[in-house]
Amino acid sequence: MTSAAKIQDTVKLHNGVDMPWLGLGVWKTKDGDEVIRAVTDALEAGYRSVDTAAVYGNEAGVGQAIRQSGIPRDDIFITTKVWNADQGFEQTLRAFEESRKKLLVDTVDLYLIHWPVKEKYKDTWKALIKLHQEGYVRAIGVSNFHPHHLRDIIEDSGVVPTVDQVELHPLLQQRELRQYCAEHQIRLEAWSPLMQGNLDLPLLQELAAKYGKSPAQIILRWDLQQGVVVIPKSVTTSRIRENADIFDFQLSDDDLARLDQLNENKRFGADPDNFNF
Ligand SMILES: NC(=O)c1ccc[n+]([C@@H]2O[C@H](COP(=O)([O-])OP(=O)(O)OC[C@H]3O[C@@H](n4cnc5c(N)ncnc54)[C@H](OP(=O)(O)O)[C@@H]3O)[C@@H](O)[C@H]2O)c1
């Protein structure tokens, strides 16, 4: 169950940091005007969290939009990620500094290892631990980590990530990972929650009609009711608002169970055990 009752509600990560349940994703959003407009629209709609990454190439626009919003820096939660080519201890420290400068911030709220690059992710994790200890990052986590990757860094470092951001939606429900994360107080965050716009499933249409909501809103609500943080992406003002209008209804247990049956273990992105970038 979720404690998310309104747009700016937060969930407490295991290190005590509060993270908004809803954030704006900006993958494929162009740097400059497009990302500045999307982030500005989102902040005006009440979002207080933005998910970017060095590899998205739009950290500068995200930083600019946040700065020019006039909203106090402490009220906005910024996530960014170290890219695969920059992994390793020293390289990660350098990559972080570049991200921090582009974002125009002193500290980043959540810094993630973008993908588990073999032979490197343990050293990358040690760099994130250092950045956290030195106060440059409020929380550290990972992305695209299977349970075996999580086990590996936890055994190696003794430090449990606060968040694992993974592909998660009705067609890919990540049951084993969910179990592991629940046991270790790791908060799951769903990327591509809207299946990259492939929302044309009969059950989603049926529930959308039943609740007077859209298919996107049905999925995002399903996430929240299971304690999953969501970061839908849109560059369309009306959709940015629509994706935030998910705090005034509740899916029934029966409908949650029906959505659970949609799982096909189908990925739109790469499998973290088999990626070539
Ligand atoms: N850690 C990782 O490896 C990783 C990987 C992928 C994504 N992510 C993060 O997760 C975020 C979200 O994932 P995503 O960008 O892959 O996909 P997504 O949020 O599942 O879907 C975005 C797509 O859906 C469309 N859309 C948005 N709202 C909609 C609505 N209400 N109705 C119909 N269509 C809608 C968007 O179109 P318009 O923009 O044209 O409105 C866009 O084409 C990313 O932006 C990124 O921040 C992380």
Percent of the chain with pLDDT over 90: 99
Above 80 in pLDDT, residue 130?
yes
* Per-residue pLDDT, 24: 98
CA-nearest residue for atom 48, ligand 1, is 191
Overall average pLDDT of the 70-92 stretch: 98
**Which band of pLDDT confidence, cut at 50, 70 and 90, is reported for residue 2?**
low
Q: What is the pLDDT of residues 158-191, one digit of tens each?
A: 999 999 999 999 999 999 999 999 999 999 999 9
CA 47 to chain centre: 13
CA distance 206 to 208: 5
CB of 99 sitting under 6 A from ligand 1 = no
CA-nearest residue for atom 41, ligand 1, is 234
* Per-residue pLDDT, 92: 98
Report CA(100)–ligand 1 centroid distance (Å): 24
Closest to 20 measured CA to CA, from 28, 31, 12: 12
CB of 239 sitting under 6 A from ligand 1 = yes
CB of 145 sitting under 6 A from ligand 1 = no
Q: What is the pLDDT of residues 135-163, one digit of tens each?
A: 999 999 999 999 999 999 999 999 999 99
Token pair for 226: 């299971």
* Per-residue pLDDT, 3: 73
> Which 3-state string (H, E, C) describes the chain?
CCCCCCCCCEEECCCCCEEECECEECCCCCCCHHHHHHHHHHHHHCCCEEECCHHHCCHHHHHHHHHHHCCCHHHCEEEEEECHHHCCHHHHHHHHHHHHHHHCCCCEEEEEECCCCCCCHHHHHHHHHHHHHCCCEEEEEEECCCHHHHHHHHHHHCCCCCEEEEECECCECCHHHHHHHHHHCCEEEEECCCHHHCCCCHHHHHHHHHHCCCHHHHHHHHHHHCCCEECCECCCHHHHHHCCCCCCCCCCHHHHHHHHCCCCCCCCCCECCECCC
**Which band of pLDDT confidence, cut at 50, 70 and 90, is reported for residue 199?**
very high
Above 60 in pLDDT, residue 103?
yes
Report CA(176)–ligand 1 centroid distance (Å): 24
Q: What is the pLDDT of residues 12-56, one digit of tens each?
A: 999 999 999 999 999 999 999 999 999 999 999 999 999 999 999
Residues in the chain: 277
Indicate the average pLDDT of the chain: 97
pTM comes to 0.98
Q: What is the pLDDT of residues 15-25, one digit of tens each?
A: 999 999 999 99
CA-nearest residue for atom 24, ligand 1, is 197
CA-nearest residue for atom 8, ligand 1, is 191
Report CA(234)–ligand 1 centroid distance (Å): 6
CB of 165 sitting under 6 A from ligand 1 = yes
Report CA(158)–ligand 1 centroid distance (Å): 33
* Per-residue pLDDT, 62: 98
Q: Given the CA of residue 234, which atom of ligand 1 is nearest to it? A: 39
CB of 84 sitting under 6 A from ligand 1 = no
CB of 103 sitting under 6 A from ligand 1 = no
CB of 194 sitting under 6 A from ligand 1 = yes
Above 70 in pLDDT, residue 1?
no
Report CA(232)–ligand 1 centroid distance (Å): 5
Percent of the chain with pLDDT over 70: 99
**Which band of pLDDT confidence, cut at 50, 70 and 90, is reported for residue 254?**
very high
| Residues catalogued as catalytic | 56
